[in-house]
Amino acid sequence: MMDRRRFLSRVTLALSGGIAVLVGAPILGFLLAPLFANEPDTYVPVADLKDLTTGDTTLVNASDPSPLPWAGQTAASALWVRRLADRGASAFQVFNVNCTHLGCPVDWRADAKLFVCPCHGGVYYADGTVAGGPPPRPLFERAWKVENGKLLVKTQRLQTAANKTG
């Protein structure tokens, strides 16, 4: 027959092990997820070419379907599309709308030809490079292609310094 002390010791060990599994599983999942992430290249249409004027920068709606079930509305976003005049009829730059400092949405000021972040005063040139303020790097650019008269942009997770591409 088991005495009281031995019984309580075993119950304490079992409960401690259960708590360790409950706390450790999400941490391990977070740390190991990048090793198993194999997201396919998916392009979504964001604009008709006829709606994008050469030399202009235009805000377009985009959908970035996230593979994470808890991402929610992060899939509904916007992009800045710049149709380049000096590189041919189908040359573009596509930028994430988020500032690289803390992620606030940047505004395009056409009269000054600058992107301005209203949160902390970050400023970017028309090509996305940093003009001033706290942003540590240029605006994140997106991969794009043209098919059937439409501009398609590659979907991706929200950009951070850790998963920057290109």
Number of H helices, E strands in the chain: 1, 10
Say if 162 falls within a structural domain.
no
Is 70's pLDDT higher than 70?
no
Tokens standing for residue 105: 């949405």
63: domain range?
43-154
Instruction: Name the pLDDT band for 130 (thresholds 50, 70, 90).
Output: very high
Quick one: pLDDT at residue 15? 96
Pair (65, 135) in one structural domain: yes
What is the number of alpha carbons within 13 Å of residue 34 lying toward its C-beta?
A: 5
CB neighbourhood size of 146 (10 A): 13
CB neighbourhood size of 150 (10 A): 16
Q: How many domains does the chain have?
A: 2
Pair (116, 55) in one structural domain: yes
Q: In what order do the strands lie in the sheet with 92-96?
A: 57-63, 76-83, 92-96
Sign of CA dihedral 134, 123, 58, 54: negative
CB 123 within 8 A of CB 114: yes
Is 31's pLDDT higher than 80?
yes
Say if 18 falls within a structural domain.
yes
Read off the pLDDT of each residue in 49-61 and give the average, rounded to a whole number.
85
As a whole number, the mean pLDDT across the chain is 82
Query: Which position has the higher pLDDT, 156 or 146?
Result: 146
Q: Looking at residue 140, which CATH number applies to its domain?
A: 2.102.10.10
Instruction: Name the pLDDT band for 68 (thresholds 50, 70, 90).
Output: low
Pair (59, 130) in one structural domain: yes
Is 77's pLDDT higher than 70?
yes
Quick one: pLDDT at residue 85? 72
Residue 156 burial by CB count (10 A; 0-12/13-18/19+): exposed, middle or buried? middle
Read off the pLDDT of each residue in 38-56 and give the average, rounded to a whole number.
81
Instruction: Name the pLDDT band for 14 (thresholds 50, 70, 90).
Output: very high
Is 147's pLDDT higher than 50?
yes
Pair (18, 79) in one structural domain: no
Instruction: Name the pLDDT band for 42 (thresholds 50, 70, 90).
Output: confident
Quick one: pLDDT at residue 165? 47
| HEC assignment per residue over 72-121 | HHHHEEEEEEEECCCCCCCCEEEEECECCCCCCECEEECCCCEEECCCCC
Read off the pLDDT of each residue in 150-162 and give the average, rounded to a whole number.
70
Is 138's pLDDT higher than 50?
yes
Q: Tell me the β-bridge partners of 61.
A: 78
Give the global pTM: 0.67
Pair (34, 56) in one structural domain: no
